[in-house]
Amino acid sequence: MLVSLAIGVIALVLFIWRQLRLDQPTGPKIPHGTAMNNTMRQTSGAMAIALLLTVMDMHAAMAERTGIPAAQASVSGVQASFRMVAIVCVICLAAPFFIRDRSRRPGQKR
């Protein structure tokens, strides 16, 4: 359940951010904006997977050094990765409340 919540929250935040960014380019710059968006999405996904696997492996290795069996140490590493994802989800859930449209003046309507 935590994984589906994480995916949903991150997708919601990224959708809003992506929509705000893709509304700005005009005319012939739209394909370039889309290409940059896709490139950044692929790169950040690869980096996130590498980071989570590193956290999992380091935590499992530390647990194994303390004498915990290998299978239980691996479970401990996976749980550490899930805790990290949960922290990121909480941050992503709170972040949209602090995003402001800086081009608008106070009291000005859209």
| Structure confidence by residue, pLDDT tens digits, 78-96 | 999 999 988 888 887 888 7
Structural contact between residues 10 and 92, judged by C-beta atoms closer than 8 angstroms: yes
Q: What is the pTM of this model?
A: 0.65
Is 76:68 a contact under the CB 8 Å cutoff? yes
pLDDT digits (tens, 9 = 90+) for 41-56: 888 888 888 888 999 9
For residues 86 and 6, is the Cβ–Cβ distance under 8 A?
yes
How much is the CA Rg of the chain, to the nearest whole Å?
Answer: 19
